[in-house]
Structure 1
């Protein structure tokens, strides 16, 4: 500090004849005193209580002080290397704890003052790489909701996804292949096996999709190995089907089936009671309930868009008095409950999804050449303890913008 004062703040030595250490003066009076004492000192403006100059001589060396809200503070010379040293001791040092902007500024302001101290502190803390790598970001996730293109015809754009790891049924199924039409929102729930290969998946597609709706123009899916196989590529190339796959660890790109999966899982949890393996028996009724429920985005049910009207369901039929021998009152009651409760859950889930998608995101854009931080959630760990793992790594350079909210980064080969 002493060396910095030689070229920064020249100390103003005040004798007792100049009112001693309790002298209070305005900025103009301070300038006058500085000129009279022939001291070259920078004038500090904008302090609520004016300037206070004090002779501070712990080693018989004077320093320029200022008194704000009753506390004396050392006026720090405005040299980057000196300011960095002061900030390092109040932010980076192990006893400082890498605190945030407000707490670092509060610690500094107890002892020091210089013009623009708050802005300088904010910039310093924001540029701290250790804080960026280790701390959580208390901001909305980057990237607003991206709307998919509206198809030109029904079943032209189809979303595919698997729900896996379900209880094994008596028919040997432990998964569900969900197929959703992007225009009508109609869905098909097909029992499947987690062990199905790409060839098995193609057979399901031919039997449950192409058989009833023809060939789609676009297939939207995640990066499941079955959807990236050579056989799948040949199928799409042979019939001129465009593939749209979501980014790794970003299922929102295939948000339609992801939302459908959550809705279906919620309905299954609602109706599964004693035997978890009965989920396959419920699929036809749940598919009917979903496809006869008005969709929040179309305000029509999938059946109304496909055929112009809803089919009759148990809710519209009064058949209790004339039952076939195999159709018992409990079964009628079950289908009625399925329709009523499924419609309620579907509507609730869809309105919640719409609300959260619009309110919990923020718009952000990066340019090629920008440096960004990458979440370490899906990267190889540095430490054996997850709690001590850095939350972000980088910064990495943006190489290319892919689409609207996806970017290609210059990552190390190990990633």
Structure 2
């Protein structure tokens, strides 16, 4: 209707309509723009130059060369190479010597780093800008220290340096299922039984694991019931539990439940999944195995979970030098591929106790060797802590927010 009205209006005029391409019709663009109430004004920056800087440097040089101050300048005989220029300012190889006396180095640093004309460049850029005009002993190191202590740079700049702090590892457990770790695999495809989450519980000594299918909406009371049935009744109450900060692990019910058992809860730091690296690595392996089962055998993933658990626990583990079943029970479980008669090996009484004790000692030695090797590799990409307990530090989590176990694709998709 709108076009029809315009056609009827134009019929009253004797005119010819010609198409004009948009790229060439720049006049129409200017006419269609909203008129500005106020004209655009270019604001010029006013540069403030400290004209008295050279005077202050000369005055500081005279004071620094006095006998009571000369030792603090760390010149080590180079004061003989200081030559005055036409303004009577002492220079070293045609560069102005800035003494420590008078605090002028900080003034120069502030102008080169924090002024509106610099806007926080890095240490190398500042040094390259200043070295042609100024000089003092250990100048490059002082520039690096100044930039490293800039609070604004620490807040806004991206992190390119090595992480602070060498690898800290938890103690090696002394017995089976005394120290465990646990985590959830969430947002899995929902099965006909309603399962969409796997609860992974791992013994930190024998590396034996339980893969428990649950529903994502199961509350903490339900998890406590499963924990009692699957873990406590089979292996006893653990001394400590390492887990992430899942809401179910932070609930009052779960904490009261573990407090009644006397188990210590060790929660990881936010955005630091490496705190419980054992569970994270276990989950990666579990997902690969489940994905392979679903592709080869079909059906829901929870149908294959018991066999996946058996396969994992009966497979060789590098860090302990044995299969988790072998570390837990003394030998690998029988399977269609590997079997032995029940009467092949019969140990009773003290022999069983002695063999089990020797096996645990051997496993702990292997774990220690693996931990030492892992720490050696990890510390190559880290630096020692530069602060102590009680120091005020900035907590930056932005480098860790991108750490994700999975991408946007489904967890069991190819």
Q: TM-score range by the shorter chain?
A: 0.5 to 0.7
Deviation at 1:218, TM superposition (A): 2.9
Q: Does residue 204 of structure 1 match 2:226?
A: yes
Deviation at 1:178, TM superposition (A): 0.5
Deviation at 1:162, TM superposition (A): 0.9
Q: Is the 8 A contact 2:167 2:375 kept in 1?
A: no
Q: Is the 8 A contact 1:168 1:277 kept in 2?
A: no
Which of 292, 301, 307 pairs up with 2:323?
A: 301
Runs of at least 5 residues in structure 2 that lack an aligned partner in the other structure: 1-52, 66-72, 340-370, 403-414
After superposition, what is the alpha-carbon deviation per residue over 1:340-398, rounded to whole angstroms, capped at 9, x for unaligned?
xxxxxxxxxx999777545433332643442322215399xxxxxx9xxxxxxxxxxxx
- Structure with higher RCO (Cα < 8 A, 6+ apart): 2
Alignment of 1:183-222 (within 5 A): 183-222=205-244
Cα pair distance change 1:364/1:270, threshold 3 Å: farther
Deviation at 1:310, TM superposition (A): 1.2
Q: Does residue 7 of structure 1 match 2:33?
A: no
Deviation at 1:80, TM superposition (A): 4.2
Structure 1 partner of 2:126: 104
Q: Is the 8 A contact 2:159 2:399 kept in 1?
A: no
Q: Distance in 1 between matches of 2:335 and 2:174?
A: 30
Structure 2 partner of 1:286: 308
Q: What's the TM-score once normalised by structure 2's chain length?
A: 0.64
After superposition, what is the alpha-carbon deviation per residue over 1:179-234, rounded to whole angstroms, capped at 9, x for unaligned?
11122110011111111100110121123223332333333322222223333234
Cα pair distance change 1:204/1:355, threshold 3 Å: farther
What is the DSSP-based 3-state SS (H/G/I as helix, E as strand, rest coil) of the residue aligned with 2:398? coil
Q: Is the 8 A contact 1:101 1:125 kept in 2?
A: yes
Alignment of 1:330-409 (within 5 A): 356-364=377-385, 366-377=387-398
Structure 2 partner of 1:63: 89
Structure 1 partner of 2:355: none
Structure 2 partner of 1:181: 203
Q: Distance in 2 between matches of 1:80 and 1:196?
A: 68
What is the DSSP-based 3-state SS (H/G/I as helix, E as strand, rest coil) of the residue aligned with 1:262? helix
Cα pair distance change 1:374/1:80, threshold 3 Å: farther
Runs of at least 5 residues in structure 1 that lack an aligned partner in the other structure: 11-30, 32-41, 318-349, 380-385, 387-415
Q: Distance in 2 between matches of 1:249 and 1:316?
A: 42
Q: Is the 8 A contact 1:170 1:277 kept in 2?
A: no
Q: Is the 8 A contact 2:89 2:96 kept in 1?
A: yes
After superposition, what is the alpha-carbon deviation per residue over 1:103-143, rounded to whole angstroms, capped at 9, x for unaligned?
21111011222333223323322222122222234333233
Deviation at 1:154, TM superposition (A): 1.8
- Return the index of the structure with the highest Cα Rg: 2
Structure 2 partner of 1:135: 157
Q: Is the 8 A contact 1:163 1:175 kept in 2?
A: yes
Cα pair distance change 1:194/1:65, threshold 3 Å: same
Deviation at 1:273, TM superposition (A): 3.4
Tell me how many residue pairs correspond in the alignment: 311
Deviation at 1:284, TM superposition (A): 2.1
What is the DSSP-based 3-state SS (H/G/I as helix, E as strand, rest coil) of the residue aligned with 2:300? helix
What is the DSSP-based 3-state SS (H/G/I as helix, E as strand, rest coil) of the residue aligned with 1:290? helix
Q: Does residue 243 of structure 1 match 2:265?
A: yes
Q: Does residue 170 of structure 1 match 2:192?
A: yes
What is the DSSP-based 3-state SS (H/G/I as helix, E as strand, rest coil) of the residue aligned with 1:220? strand
- Superposition RMSD in Å: 3.7
Q: Distance in 2 between matches of 1:369 and 1:146?
A: 19
The structure with the greater share of residues assigned to strand is 1
Q: Distance in 1 between matches of 2:131 and 2:204?
A: 58
Higher mean C-alpha deviation, range 301-310 or range 234-243 = 234-243
Q: Distance in 2 between matches of 1:351 and 1:5?
A: 55
Cα pair distance change 1:65/1:366, threshold 3 Å: closer
Which of 132, 141, 164 pairs up with 1:119?
A: 141
Q: Distance in 2 between matches of 1:276 and 1:110?
A: 72
Cα pair distance change 1:277/1:354, threshold 3 Å: farther
What is the DSSP-based 3-state SS (H/G/I as helix, E as strand, rest coil) of the residue aligned with 2:266? strand
Q: What's the TM-score once normalised by structure 1's chain length?
A: 0.64
After superposition, what is the alpha-carbon deviation per residue over 1:53-112, rounded to whole angstroms, capped at 9, x for unaligned?
4643xxxx4433443xxxx32333544442222222222234334222222111101122
Cα pair distance change 1:362/1:112, threshold 3 Å: closer
